[in-house]
Amino acid sequence: MSFEDWYRQDRLPHIYCAGCGNGTIINCTLAAIDQMGWKKEETVFVSGIGCSSRAPGYILTDSLHTTHGRALAFATGVKLGNPDLNVVVFTGDGDLAAIGGNHFIHACRRNINLTVVCMNNQIYGMTGGQGSPTTPKGCLSSTTPYGCAEIPFDLCELAIAAGANYVSRWTSYHVKELEKAIKVGFETPGFSFIEALVQCPTAFGRRNKFRQVADHVEYLRSHSLLKAKYDRMVQQGEQIPEDMYVVGELMRRSRPALGVKP
Amino acid sequence: MASKLPKKGGVFIQMEDEIASMASIIGASWTGARAMTATSGPGFSLMMENIGFAAMTETPCVVVNVQRGGPSTGQPTMSAQGDMMQARFGSHGDYAIIALCPATVQEMYELTAKAFNLADKYRVPVFLMADETVGHMREKIVIPDKVERIERKPLAPGALPFKADADLVPGFGQFGKGHHVHVTGLTHDERGYPSATNPQLHAALVQRLVDKIENARHEMADYDVINPGASQVFIAYGGPVRTVQQVMHDRKDKDIGSLRIRTVWPFPEKALAEFKNAKAFFVPEMNLGQIAREIERHVKVPVVSIPKLGGELHTPAELIAVLEAHR
């Protein structure tokens, strides 16, 4: 499958660092769109600020690259202005969970008919590797030189609690699973949230002893705990290790949604 | 609006905060909708970053600011005009906007319609800078059968989405029409592509954003002149216009003139030249002289600022006292 005609060839080369996981996530999203059969003129990408938010600029559709944290508020206006448009939001952990946290919970609460793909690299990659709300405890960043002392956000739990209809988490290792999850997100009316943990060799891996890009991807793979296994472990009263990420479909429901055409 | 818009095929949404309100109207505007939001000082402050985004991305939108006493929470239900400079310069960087000031309920109506037309014509945020005096006022108004409507100039097929025409305004590449337009707050070239490190390109873009508004200031200027031969001239906008009208009515003195400005930004300085015999301009404002300072840089005669803080309009006696003191 080729997505070449969905990319703005005249914008290359892109700004992503060698080994960045964001390209994988963009490809998975475009693959899911391809399966949906969406047309370019009926698809709009919206983003805020950060590495992830540069993605819409490389895709050949209408796109809105907005202010830091506000992508969901802009996207809400786009969707309500023209509900015929398929609106996809690319965001990151800093954009969505820190400066944009308020818009995130309210977009979930309204259950507005958007699909949000969050590239969670667990750090502010673009601005110099500052710790983000998802930087794991103990991890090094330019603002946590002695190890992050704060508890990270679980973005999926947040989305579920706030009312999103579809919530799923995968990593840049789980390409096929991620692609399928994004497609299910597209198909589910209401707010769909797909978190994709990604490696960031420049800002995160470099500081946290991932000498090779593959080491970081392998870490994401080996620290992923399938939802089914997680459920079984919980049922059997087993201890869930703190550094594991539950991956898989975490919520699918059909609460009333905003911006859905009757 | 919450009750009326849905019945007219429109959409109303109460966003979680003013940052989101400003963001959502920009998003809606790119789908071709005419979009507006309304607020007061603190909300206006919150909107500033996205107002800059609208200016940079040339997004037509309308914001009503019913000004109250500030700074901070200040006087939530008292009158002020303290946000006039914020309206012009509040977001970071150089840019230009349009600000209209109504003095009557009729003007609240007319200038709202005008604001949308100017926003669409010049692709810029337009502010309706009301004040609490006008905002809470009840007056009889006349609603015409037909309201003039200026549509956005559409993007010609194949044209670059941020390449301006002779009027310095590019055609509007509405979302969902196959234009594949990329809209970014980053410094961008005529294709809309980020080009943030090109000094000449940035300078040319920002200069055009300012010029497209400033160069058109006399074309869009909206003001009334009374007694152009007068030596003492009041200049007012918004609420204080009413006090000046009372003074003019009481005095019936041909030597007292008045300039009532509805388009405060961009400032129509040619209006000042209509008062050929003016020996002094008197500027009552519900702030510490924000527009008086703008007037000062355009004229050679003294500009007497008549500031009033506290939330109440000037009284006619207060204005007359200042006139007398300068006789």
pLDDT in tens, B110-144: 999 999 999 999 999 999 999 999 999 999 999 99
Q: Please determine, for residue B294, whether its predicted confidence score (pLDDT) is greater than 60.
A: yes
Tell me the percentage of chain B whose pLDDT exceeds 70: 100
On whether the CB atoms of residues A248 and A258 are closer than 8 A, the answer is no
Which strands sit side by side in the sheet containing B303-307, from one edge to the other?
A: B223-226, B256-261, B232-236, B280-285, B303-307
Distance from CA of B25 to the nearest CA of A (A): 6
Q: What is the pLDDT of residue B327?
A: 87
DSSP helix, strand, coil percent of chain B (3-state; round to 5): 35, 20, 45
B19 and chain A in contact, CB less than 8 A: yes
Distance from CA of A44 to the nearest CA of B (A): 8
What's the pLDDT band for A2 if we cut at 50, 70, 90? Answer: low
Distance CA A90, CA A194 (A): 10
Nearest-CA neighbor of A44 among A2, A68, A74, A1?
A74
CB contact under 8 A, B27 and A42: no
Q: Nearest by CB to B24, which of A42, A62, A73?
A: A73
Burial A11-22 (b: 16+ CB within 10 A, else e): beebebeebbbb
Q: Please determine, for residue A211, whether its predicted confidence score (pLDDT) is greater than 80.
A: yes
Q: Nearest by CB to A62, which of B25, B28, B176?
A: B176
Q: Please determine, for residue A261, whether its predicted confidence score (pLDDT) is greater than 80.
A: no
Sole residue written with tokens 């006090």: B243
Q: DSSP letter string over A149-185? A: -SPPP-HHHHHHHHT-SEEEEEETT-HHHHHHHHHHH
Q: DSSP letter string over A249-261? A: EEEE-----BS--
Q: What is the pLDDT of residue A4?
A: 82
Q: Nearest by CB to B23, which of A40, A56, A74?
A: A74
**Chain Cα centroid distance, residue B113:** 13
Nearest-CA neighbor of B320 among B236, B238, B257, B251?
B251
Q: Please determine, for residue A145, whether its predicted confidence score (pLDDT) is greater than 60.
A: yes
Give the model confidence (pLDDT) of B2-17 as tens digits. 999 999 999 999 999 9
Task: Give long-range contacts, CB 8 A cutoff, 24+ apart: A210-214.
Answer: A213/A18, A213/A19
CB contact under 8 A, A57 and B28: no
What residues of chain A have any CB closer than 8 angstroms to a CB in chain B?
8, 10-11, 40-42, 44, 46, 56-57, 60-67, 70, 73-82, 84-85, 102-103, 106
Q: Which residue of A has its CA nearest to B36?
A: A77
On whether the CB atoms of residues B280 and B232 are closer than 8 A, the answer is yes
Assign B281 to helix, strand or coil: strand
Q: Nearest by CB to B183, which of A8, A64, A70?
A: A64
What architecture (CATH level 2) is domain B223-325? 3-Layer(aba) Sandwich (3.40)
CB contact under 8 A, A65 and B185: yes
CA angle B216/B217/B223 to nearest 5° reads 135
Tell the burial category of B262 from Cβ atoms under 10 Å away from its Cβ (0-12, 13-18, 19+): buried
Q: Which residues pair with B221 in a beta bridge?
A: none
Residue among A44, A66, A88 with most chain B CBs within 10 A, to mutate: A66
- Count, in order, helices (H) and strands (E) of chain A: 8, 8
Tell the burial category of B200 from Cβ atoms under 10 Å away from its Cβ (0-12, 13-18, 19+): exposed
CB contact under 8 A, A66 and B26: yes
Query: Helices B18-30 & A71-81, crossing angle to 10 degrees?
Result: 40
What's the pLDDT band for A3 if we cut at 50, 70, 90? Answer: confident
Residue among A58, A82, A87, A112 with most chain B CBs within 10 A, to mutate: A82
Checking ipTM against 0.90, whether it exceeds it is yes
Neighbouring residues of B303: CB distance < 8 A, sequence distance ≥ 6? B280, B281, B283, B292, B295, B296
B307 and chain A in contact, CB less than 8 A: no
Residue among A15, A74, A113, A258 with most chain B CBs within 10 A, to mutate: A74
Q: Which residues of chain B are within 8 Å of residue A56 when distances are taken between CB atoms?
A: 182
According to DSSP, the β-strands at B61-67 and B125-131 are: parallel
CB contact under 8 A, A82 and B194: no
Sole residue written with tokens 């960043």: A141
Q: What is the pLDDT of residue B3?
A: 97
Give the model confidence (pLDDT) of A9-21 as tens digits. 999 899 999 999 9
Can B1-220 and B223-325 be said to share one CATH topology?
yes
The DSSP H or E segment spanning B155 is none
Distance CA A236, CA A243 (A): 19
> For B18, what's the count of Cα atoms within 13 Å in the CB-facing half-sphere?
16
Q: Which residues pair with B154 in a beta bridge?
A: B172
Please state the rounded mean pLDDT for residues A132-141. 97
Distance from CA of B68 to the nearest CA of A (A): 26
On whether the CB atoms of residues B241 and B326 are closer than 8 A, the answer is no
* CATH number, domain A17-211, options 3.40.50.970, 3.30.420.40, 3.60.15.10, 3.40.47.10: 3.40.50.970
Q: Which residues pair with A169 in a beta bridge?
A: A195, A248
Return mean pLDDT, chain B: 97
B17 and chain A in contact, CB less than 8 A: yes
Sole residue written with tokens 């000498």: A211
Q: Which residues of chain B are within 8 Å of residue A65 when distances are taken between CB atoms?
A: 182-186, 194
On whether the CB atoms of residues B235 and B283 are closer than 8 A, the answer is yes
CA angle B98/B99/B105 to nearest 5° reads 135
CB pairs under 8 A between A and B: 123
Residue B292 in tokens: 């008086």
B positions 46-85 inside 8 Å of A (CB): 49-50, 53
Q: Which residue of B has its CA nearest to A40?
A: B178
Q: Where are the domains of chain A?
A: 17-211
Q: Nearest by CB to B30, which of A57, A73, A78?
A: A78
- E strand residue ranges, chain B: 36-39, 61-67, 98-100, 125-131, 182-184, 223-226, 232-236, 256-261, 263-265, 280-285, 303-307
CB contact under 8 A, B175 and A75: no
- Which CATH superfamily groups domain B1-220? Thiamin diphosphate (ThDP)-binding fold, Pyr/PP domains (3.40.50.970)
Q: Please give, one letter per residue, the 3-state secondary structure of B232-271.
A: EEEEECCCHHHHHHHHHHHHCCCCEEEEEECEEECCCHHH
Q: What is the pLDDT of residue B280?
A: 98
B190 and chain A in contact, CB less than 8 A: no
Q: Where are the domains of chain B?
A: 1-220, 223-325
Distance from CA of A114 to the nearest CA of B (A): 13
Q: Please determine, for residue A1, whether its predicted confidence score (pLDDT) is greater than 70.
A: no
Q: Please determine, for residue A262, whether its predicted confidence score (pLDDT) is greater than 90.
A: no
CB contact under 8 A, B23 and A77: yes
Burial B22-48 (b: 16+ CB within 10 A, else e): bbbbbbbbbbbbbbbbbbbbbbbbbbb
Q: Which residues of chain A are within 8 Å of residue B23 when distances are taken between CB atoms?
A: 66-67, 70, 73-74, 76-77, 103
Q: What is the pLDDT of residue A178?
A: 98
Residue among B11, B91, B184, B190 with most chain A CBs within 10 A, to mutate: B184
Q: What is the pLDDT of residue A48?
A: 98
Tell me the percentage of chain B whose pLDDT exceeds 90: 99
Distance from CA of B115 to the nearest CA of A (A): 19
Distance from CA of B183 to the nearest CA of A (A): 5
Q: Which residue of B has its CA nearest to A63?
A: B182
CA angle B26/B30/B31 to nearest 5° reads 120
